[in-house]
Chain A
Amino acid sequence: MTLDPGQFVLLMPEIFVLTMACVILVVDLFLSKKERVISYWLTQITVVIAAVLTIAVSNGETELLFFGTFIADPMAAALKVFIYIVVGLAFLYSRHYLALRGLFKGEFYVLGLFAMLGTMVLVSAHSLLTVYLGLELLSLSLYALVAFNRDTYSCSEAAMKYFVLGALSSGMLLYGMSILYGLTGTLDIDLMGQILAQQETHVGLVFAVSFIVVGVSFKLGAVPFHMWLPDVYQGAPTPVTLYISSASKIAAFAMVMRLLVESVGSLQPQWEGMLIVLAVLSLAIGNVVAIAQTNLKRMLAYSTISHIGFLLLGVLSGTQAGYAAAMFYVITYALMAAGAFGMIILLSRAGFEADEISDFKGLNQRNSWFALMMLILMFSMAGVPPTVGFYAKLSVLQAVINVDMVWLAAVAVFFAVIGAFYYIRLVKVMYFDDAEDKEPLEPHFDLRFGLTANGLAVLLLGLFPGSLMALCHQVMS
């Protein structure tokens, strides 16, 4: 019953983020409106130092800490670093957006940091208890962030929907977890995996797993548990939408790995079927319904659903290569989503959200460089070759074909081709339509820098995907 102080070293990133979130909370009280930017910079520094700490303490080994509730392994370290990157981008893009709307408050960044802490806990969870607590920490912060612009009707509506459905899905997940706990007598993920591997599969186990699958797909937004996604994406402030579609999707992927693969991995034949249904429905509904959207945020929400379908394809193949492909997919998708929502922020002004597709008309005439960035991002989401989206889709399809599910790969390609239509339509609007608003676009330096880096990263990762792919394979083996 003693606590080894050496354990705290590996927990340093979490401890640091928590401490800084509390420090910023207090410091922010003493800042005047003009000095508020200090909170913003403190937050960004926290994210950077957390990344440095995570890289410094990760030693490539798998270590269990705090009586098996926390795991420090290469997958956790890698996912955390990518979460820092997209969270840093989200904060970077959010600054001027919030300032223009009178929302530039310390609480936004504090809640953002707490949500990031939630993703970190989730990524390193090694007990059903920590999975659940990390998820709740993340979701609770996100509910508040979605409602952050509390005087707008759409924000409150989105937050309410997100909260009610989120609570419902947490309940589903907990129900599944409690049955699993009852059947195995342990909350520890590894131990549960070992016990289940020796047990015969029976109805009780499948019952528990189906609840877990439902809970997880609610969080991911897979069809038929996707209803909250379009409304929340559209209603939330754009930086928060960015956060939900990037950082929290990486965390949700980690949750899938910890819950489905590591703890109930021996039931793979059972959950494979469930995931096939979810994946095919997500691909179909996501891509087809996105065509009918005129609101860009809503369209991107449906595009998220279709990307989740691809992510599930990688997971359901049940091989190391499949998991690595899914991880590659979720990381690159988070980068693309960050860029796409960043572009919406770039075009928006006070009182104008720029979230309609028609708002992008003639972007090329107004600012050809950022039209090019958006072109790269859209091509990447559609999966056009030199960009990373193509490579991500390719590796997932490869994993699916390797386990002899060619028909599934064919379905995925079919819907991806349908999906290409609405991405390319946006490109057409940007390049071939006349701008209604001829004013040239002169964004702030940090937005300019962030989006350029973001767009070029998507292109460069597409040209040289080798190192990221190697990393994904390495952490999954």
Chain B
Amino acid sequence: MEKNEALKKFLLRLGDNALIQGHRLSEWCSRGPMLEEDIALSNLALDNIGRAQAFLDYAGHFYTNPLSADDLAFKRSERQYFNFLMAELPVGHFGFTIAKQLYISAYEELLFEALTQSTDETIAAIAHKAVKEARYHFSHAADWCVRLGLGTAESHDKLGSAMTDLWAYTQEFFEMTDGDLLLLQLGIAPDQNQIKKVWTDKVNKVFMRAGYVMPAECYQYSGSQQGIHTEYLGHLLCEMQYLQRSHPQAAW
């Protein structure tokens, strides 16, 4: 596989993860459990949207006719999206969102830490900024896991079942395509197997602090590397892309 093609796909995955997660988090705006947490979740959403803009903008350079971040966000359909399946799952209850945040932000902190060493300078620069955000996102999620885990019997159970249900979407994070292996050789992308080891340990520490044991090995969903998604992504894109699809070229 050609390097530029591999890089484009890698950047789309990074950008799509940020965009779809950011969109889901933004759904909490005005619906947070309290004013402060509402603003906290909206802040997390904005970090993600900013990161999506940076990665998609860069990805756009690798098309024969360069595309903007907006083109990529608003004019692709499900099969052209490469975000993790976990990111597109509906927000669910607050504990479900926190469990999603825990798994994804723990991964992203490690990923961006590694990407600060990327031989691609643009990726390294974006990662340098993103790693600080991801560190905060992880800290926010881990704090809440401990609070809910050691809170009431109801909060413990709700978070616990969310973490167990979502476990089936975690191993997809670490899949590497042929393109990713090429990027690893070139020092552009990190080895996901290394990240997986540290991630498992990092997440397990939170489980222990919050009074849980790590979920058992289970069936793992997969497909997003090929653009195969859950039924939820289409509905999300419908809402997110409505304006551009109904009024092409609309701008303000």
Do these two chains really belong together in a complex? no
